[in-house]
Amino acid sequence: MIGAGFGNIFKIPELKKRLLFTAALLAVYRIGVHVPTPGIDSVALASFFAKVEGTIFGIFNMFSGGALERLSVFALGIMPYISASIILQLLTVVIPHLEQLKKEGEAGRKKITQYTRYGTVVLSIIQGFGISVGLESMAAPGGASVVIAPGWGFRLLTVITLTAGTAFIMWLGEQITERGIGNGISLIIFAGIVANMPSAIGNTFRLLSTGEMGIFIIVILMVLMVLVVGFIIFVEQGQRRIPVQYAKRVVGRRLYGGQSTHLPLKINTSGVIPPIFASSIIMFPATIASFINVPIIQNIANAMRPGNWAYELPYIVFIFFFCYFYTAVTFNPEEVAENMKKNGGYIPGIRPGKRTADYIDKVLTRITLGGAIYVSAVCVLPSILITRFNVPFYFGGTALLIVVGVAIDTIAQMESHMLTRHYEGFLKKGGIRGRGR
């Protein structure tokens, strides 16, 4: 059972050491979130963020675990690293040198990782400078300036501080991946999102005690949360398995091949990338408009907020676009078909080569449609309910996809450690499949 599985964790010294190491580095990250950047009026900054809640600042603040709202040394969070990784993946398609590195195995992967680090630093410097300049023009609703002493000294100090903070987070994530359990970068994002849960629960009880929210509404929302989480787990582990048969080959006196296997295609191949990109594109003009004190533009900015149809409809369109675009970038049916042909594999009833690539592309296009509908439903429907019932916490969208996905991956890695040591996993039968399996 699950309880017995958790009890076995601490019977494996290596797994126990990895878990404690991961917990220690995540604690270091959460401490750094509360270390402020010099030269900032924290009270004025908090008032400003209360005014711009629901814009792109709110999304970035959620991913940074509240670091942007406090403008701590970790204010940029891990987003520059993610952006650099995505840019490198996109450039791999158009730059032959990067495509060659990708095919060179471990050595090529290390080189691409090194390029990603350089890109992270460059993006951090650009974003840090933009934030420092923007902060100088920001003021709280009462008129108090966010920056105590504006000027190039403040800008330079802010750029150095924020860039160093992002580089340190990147290092923490890599250490967790190598010496801890789970994917370090994903766990850092996970920790930032989950850290906001206690305050959200506290706000819920406050609204219940003051009568602003009834117990019946809270029960309905709790049931809905469980159903949404269960739905995400079900779909994230969903696969379309294409049967693959390998021909028999005689090498010397031995017979190789002849076995049957399958090619697993995930329903949601693109993961959480589509909602991240879509929300950034939709909220960017709304965020710019929120700084322009013109009544018509202010009305447009208020309409372009989560929960309104003027925001949700374009949001769905961009999610569909990025689901197909990112899947096309990360999964190449022609390359898969070529590798199968080299190894003597074929799909029953389909000729090897181009016919196989076309068949895989056709299947992938169909299941990507289902994945896009699933991502749109998870991201849009809960936000509409939250707006309608004025819920003080967010349990839908990108945040929930990340939390559930990271939890599945981490549990799968813990299970593999226990099973290799012949210990009972979290479940006696079936186990938990990782998202990548």
pLDDT one-digit tens code per residue, 303-329: 766 667 777 888 889 899 889 988 887
Residues 221 and 165 placed together within one structural domain of the fold: no
Asked whether residue 432 is domain-assigned, the answer is: no
Per-residue pLDDT, 428: 47
Average pLDDT for the chain: 78
pLDDT > 70? residue 154 = yes
pLDDT one-digit tens code per residue, 190-205: 888 888 777 777 777 7
Residues 178 and 275 placed together within one structural domain of the fold: no
Q: Do the strands 345-346 and 239-246 form a parallel or antiparallel pair, or are they unpaired? A: antiparallel
Asked whether residue 201 is domain-assigned, the answer is: no
Q: Taking Cα atoms as reference points, which of 280, 39, 285 lies closest to residue 162?
A: 39
Residues 108 and 35 placed together within one structural domain of the fold: yes
Residues 181 and 243 placed together within one structural domain of the fold: no
Q: Taking Cα atoms as reference points, which of 282, 278, 302 lies closest to residue 292?
A: 302
Q: What total number of domains does the chain contain?
A: 2
pLDDT one-digit tens code per residue, 270-303: 877 788 777 767 766 665 665 566 677 667 766 7
Residues 330 and 216 placed together within one structural domain of the fold: yes
Residues 191 and 232 placed together within one structural domain of the fold: no
What is the DSSP annotation of 350-369? S-TTHHHHHHHHHHHHHHHH
Per-residue pLDDT, 228: 82
Conformational region of residue 307, where left means phi above 0, alpha means psi within -120 to 50, and beta covers everything else: left
Asked whether residue 436 is domain-assigned, the answer is: no
Range of the domain at 261: 210-396
pLDDT > 50? residue 67 = yes
Residues 238 and 160 placed together within one structural domain of the fold: no
Asked whether residue 330 is domain-assigned, the answer is: yes
Which of 160, 195, 230 is where one domain is finished? Answer: 195
CATH of the domain at 234: 1.10.3370.10
The confidence band for 165, taking pLDDT boundaries of 50, 70 and 90, is very high
Confirm whether pTM is higher than 0.95.
no
Asked whether residue 21 is domain-assigned, the answer is: yes
Per-residue pLDDT, 429: 47
Buried b (16+ CB within 10 A) or exposed e, 30-63: bebbeeebebbbeebbebbbeebebbbbbbbbbb
The confidence band for 215, taking pLDDT boundaries of 50, 70 and 90, is confident
Region 251-267: mean pLDDT is 73
Residues 126 and 221 placed together within one structural domain of the fold: no
Asked whether residue 75 is domain-assigned, the answer is: yes
Residues 258 and 377 placed together within one structural domain of the fold: yes
Residues 215 and 186 placed together within one structural domain of the fold: no
Asked whether residue 72 is domain-assigned, the answer is: yes
User: Which amino acid is residue 258, in one-letter code?
Assistant: G
Asked whether residue 20 is domain-assigned, the answer is: yes
